[in-house]
Chains A and B, each alone.
Chain A
Amino acid sequence: MRTLALLILLVLPACFMAHGTVNEPLDREVFASLTPGTSTAGDVVAALGAPAEVVQLGRRSAWRYEHSSTKETGLFLLVVFLHGTDTRSDRTWLFFDENEIMTHLGVTLGAGRSEYSLPGLE
């Protein structure tokens, strides 16, 4: 029992979990209201706000919106350090033609599925 208590005391102060995010999560319902061929750049700004990145593609352009989630876990076992990091993102790219009409939309919603995990301890 004392040995177990000693082990717990040795191990407990040496573990940590951290969760970091960048930007607000993207709302799936917002994308349902955006229609390629119909929605304009103005509609997109009204729904999603300012994009994180704009790429000029000749006369066309592509806008990126992104939210990322990073979960980190660490465990110090005296001379051994186990550390796991998992980053996943909600990301969308919207493509516009020269008239600022949205032509294509690509959405990935994965930020909610980032995991706490340590190597070898799944």
Chain B
Amino acid sequence: MKGLFRKTGLVLLCAWLLQLSSCLAVAIERDRFERRPDLPEIDILLAGNATGDDGQRDATGPALPFMDLHQALARLGAPLHVAPLQREAIALVYGWRADTHLRASLSLPLAETVSASMDFSRRRAKLDGLVLVFDSSGQLRGSRACRLLDIRARLSGERPVYDDAWWAPRISRP
């Protein structure tokens, strides 16, 4: 008799859990897109680098991993995007993402045609990016970290000038 109750209880518990999942759900989602460039000096580029009008850098600054387009492509591989800038300059855009989202949702049927639901999600990071700017002769003129959403908006309109204030180092992300 006791065994029968135990089995019945187990079946009821399973049924309850199955039914519960229809209104309560916790999702852990990981989304990876490409990888951060495997380059020891990547932080120097992400911290932002601006060269002067004469193309020379401050000798006291940290050494860059490359100074021209050919070397950049050899070290970093193909970018996600290539965009034209004014004066025949170009921007190479690299991007990667490693997100883990925790999302919980609760949905309660209150009446036959009415329900209440609550959804909470938290995104730890969005697509990270690195922008490299080269002048018409292929010399590196600037770099900066960015979110690709930001850079897309900037590059989709009128072509920016590569040495305007936007390329000056403002973001420093280790």
Contacts and interface: CB of A to CB of B under 8 A. Distances in A.
Interface of A: 6, 10, 36, 55-60, 62, 64, 76, 78-89, 91-93, 95, 104-108, 110, 117-120
A29 to B, nearest CB: 17
Given A81-B28, A107-B78, 19 more contacts: A10-B14, A55-B83, A55-B84, A56-B84, A57-B88, A57-B90, A58-B84, A59-B88, A64-B78, A78-B18, A78-B21, A79-B17, A79-B24, A81-B27, A83-B29, A83-B30, A87-B34, A93-B73, A119-B100
Binding site of B, secondary structure by majority: helix, strand, loop or mixed? mixed
9 contacts: A6-B14, A58-B88, A81-B29, A85-B31, A87-B33, A89-B34, A93-B73, A93-B79, A119-B29
A105 B25 contact: no
A107 B82 contact: no
B34 A81 contact: no
A93 B26 contact: no
A93 B78 contact: yes
Contacts of A59: 88
Contacts of A56: 84
A95 B79 CA distance: 12
A85 B101 CA distance: 12
Interface string B7-40: 0000000100110110011111111111100000
Contacts of B161: none
Contact of B30 (A36, A105, A110, A118): A118
B37 to A, nearest CB: 10
Nearest to B20: A79
B174 interface: no
Nearest to A73: B30
B123 interface: no
Contacts of B138: 104
Contacts of A93: 73, 78-79, 82
B52 interface: no
Nearest to B87: A58
